[in-house]
Amino acid sequence: MSPPSGAIPQNPSPPVKTILDCIEGFCVGDIKIFENALDDAYIHETLPKSMGIPAQTKQEYLERVEKSMLLLKDFRMIYHEVIEAPGKIIVHGSNDGVSKSGRPYTNEYNFIFTVAESGGKWKITHIKEFVDSKYSLAFFAQERELQKQG
């Protein structure tokens, strides 16, 4: 797994730093870094809704993330744009990755993060994650099948 690159903000605000740390946790395969950025009441939405993935609680989403990490050998987020507004951070990015079976994994994302300060720390309370739905559904279905075979 590889650290993020691209248009990473220099001197990010504390809420943006929380987001960057969260994404880096995924990129380097450290679920604890990722988990520590999430509020206990966290909700995750994977969009568009036509993908059929229901909203998930913190625990449900962490389980999904861990399963995704098991399918990937390398994952690097490339930031294209980070926009900050009060209580919201929007990230447009893409990734370079490789699955455990050696297949390239490239996707494009738009994240809308909702953040709040809790106990002196910024936490992510909600993410709306927009992905390339056709690509994502096909890639992960094929990868799970390949790993069952091999």
Residue 37 contacts residue 14 (beta carbons within 8 Å): no
Residue 149 falls inside a structural domain: no
Per-residue pLDDT of the chain (150 residues; tens, 9 = 90+): 555 666 677 889 999 999 999 988 888 888 898 899 999 999 999 998 888 889 999 999 999 888 888 888 888 889 999 999 999 999 999 988 888 888 888 889 999 999 999 889 999 999 999 987 666 666 667 767 776 776
Q: Tell me the backbone φ, ψ of residue 13, rounded to 5 degrees.
A: -65, 165
Tokens of 16: 């943006």
In a domain? residue 64: yes
DSSP-derived pairing of the beta strands 104-118 and 56-57: unpaired
Pairing of strands 56-57, 38-47: antiparallel
Whether this model's pTM surpasses 0.75:
yes
Count of domains in the chain?
A: 1
In a domain, 148, yes or no: no
In a domain, 134, yes or no: yes
Q: Is residue 94 part of a domain?
A: yes
In a domain, 122, yes or no: yes
Provide the domain limits for residue 90.
Answer: 5-143
Strands, E, within 14-133: which ranges?
38-47, 56-57, 72-85, 88-99, 104-118, 121-131
Q: What is the CATH number of the domain that holds 14?
A: 3.10.450.50
